[in-house]
């Protein structure tokens, strides 16, 4: 057998991994790494915002002007995100823990999240007054006409009045109480058949505060025995947020 000629050309071999292939693989790896980082970041961000469910622990203060009244309110007591801004507004909605009257924070988060304890929170709606009298002032000229003559004792010194069935208030209950040197206390409620079915808006009352501000506040019927403290606390709280 003849030996191969020393002058024959060597066979050409292509590299197993071409530079072009390596470039594509590297680009894919980098892209996947970027996507993984983005998914992790946005997943964490989304998870945090989902957990907040519209709440904020920020205490940034906003100046809110309603009618003739100027309020200074921290963000974490303002219920709706769209209202958290310095602005001229028709109304602002607040929520507060009871009895501390605090806003949302890491320490109070469990009170806002526990739907089975509606007595944890009190809800306020502040708006420009559209009526000359608040709920106490409306007792004689309006409410007396729709209340049954029969009364029953209520909790903590309250008097219970059922409403007449032929009025638009049928099914509702009013509670009143005389107060020395002050107009009668008046409260309007829709009481659940089962106390365990109470909501955070069973009872409501409105009062006038400041120059022209109507404060409507709502709370669970489980808090009826604390009606005096609630009324005084709500008025004091709103007055403390009015700018001089």
Does residue 213 fall inside a structural domain?
yes
For residue 163, CA distances in Å to 32, 151, 206, 227, 235 come to 67, 10, 19, 20, 27
Does residue 1 fall inside a structural domain?
no
Angle at 200 between CA 109 and CA 61, to 5 degrees: 50
pTM given for the model: 0.79
Instruction: Walk along the chain (244 residues) and give the pLDDT tens digit of each residue.
Output: 455 455 555 555 455 556 665 666 566 666 666 565 554 444 444 444 434 569 999 999 999 999 999 999 999 999 999 999 999 999 999 999 999 999 999 999 999 999 899 999 999 999 999 999 999 999 999 999 999 999 999 999 999 999 999 999 999 999 999 999 999 999 999 999 998 899 999 999 999 999 999 999 999 999 999 999 999 999 999 999 999 8
Cis geometry, peptide bond prior to residue 99 (ω within 30 degrees of 0): yes
Pair 117, 162 in one domain: yes
Pair 99, 45 in one domain: no
Pair 67, 33 in one domain: no
Q: How confident is the model at residue 23, as a pLDDT?
A: 63
Pair 136, 43 in one domain: no
Angle at 185 between CA 117 and CA 163, to 5 degrees: 80
Pair 39, 140 in one domain: no
Among 238, 241, 226, smallest CA distance to 98 is for 226
Does residue 47 fall inside a structural domain?
yes
* CB-based contact 241:72 (threshold 8 Å): yes
Q: How confident is the model at residue 42, as a pLDDT?
A: 45
Q: How confident is the model at residue 73, as a pLDDT?
A: 98
Does residue 160 fall inside a structural domain?
yes
Phi, psi torsion values for 99, nearest 5 degrees: -100, 0
Q: How confident is the model at residue 43, as a pLDDT?
A: 44
Beta strands in 80-234 (DSSP E): 87-88, 91-97, 121-128, 147-153, 159-163, 173-179, 182-189, 203-209, 213-219
Q: How confident is the model at residue 62, as a pLDDT?
A: 98
Pair 91, 210 in one domain: yes
Does residue 233 fall inside a structural domain?
yes
Structural domain of 32: 19-52
Pair 169, 105 in one domain: yes
Q: How confident is the model at residue 228, as a pLDDT?
A: 97
Does residue 9 fall inside a structural domain?
no
Pair 127, 216 in one domain: yes
101 vs 76: CA distance, rounded Å? 12
Number of domains in the chain: 2
Neighbours of 233 (CB within 10 A): 18
94 vs 62: CA distance, rounded Å? 13
Pair 23, 81 in one domain: no
Does residue 12 fall inside a structural domain?
no
Does residue 197 fall inside a structural domain?
yes
Pair 118, 174 in one domain: yes
Pair 175, 208 in one domain: yes
């Amino acid at each position: 057998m003849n030996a191969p000629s020393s002058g024959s050309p060597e066979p050409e071999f292509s590299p197993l991994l071409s530079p072009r292939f390596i470039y594509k693989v590297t680009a894919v790896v980098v892209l996947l790494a970027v996507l993984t980082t983005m998914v992790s970041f946005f997943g964490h961000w989304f998870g945090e915002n989902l957990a907040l469910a519209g709440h904020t622990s920020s205490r940034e203060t906003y100046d809110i002007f309603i009618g003739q009244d100027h309020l200074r309110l921290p963000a974490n007591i303002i219920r709706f995100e769209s209202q958290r801004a310095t602005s001229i507004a028709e109304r602002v909605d607040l929520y507060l823990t009871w009895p501390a009257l605090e806003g949302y924070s890491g320490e109070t988060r469990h009170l806002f999240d526990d739907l089975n304890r509606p007595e944890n929170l009190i809800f306020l709606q502040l708006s420009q007054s559209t009526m000359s009298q608040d709920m106490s002032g409306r007792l004689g000229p309006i409410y007396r006409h729709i209340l049954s003559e029969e009364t029953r004792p209520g909790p903590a010194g309250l008097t219970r009045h059922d409403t007449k069935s032929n009025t638009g208030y049928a099914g509702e209950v009013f509670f009143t109480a005389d107060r020395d040197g002050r107009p009668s206390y008046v409260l309007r409620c829709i009481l659940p058949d089962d106390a365990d079915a109470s909501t955070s808006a069973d009872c409501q009352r409105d009062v006038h505060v400041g120059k022209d501000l109507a404060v409507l506040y709502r709370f669970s019927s489980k808090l009826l025995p604390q009606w005096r403290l609630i009324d005084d606390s709500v008025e004091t709280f709103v007055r403390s947020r009015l700018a001089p």
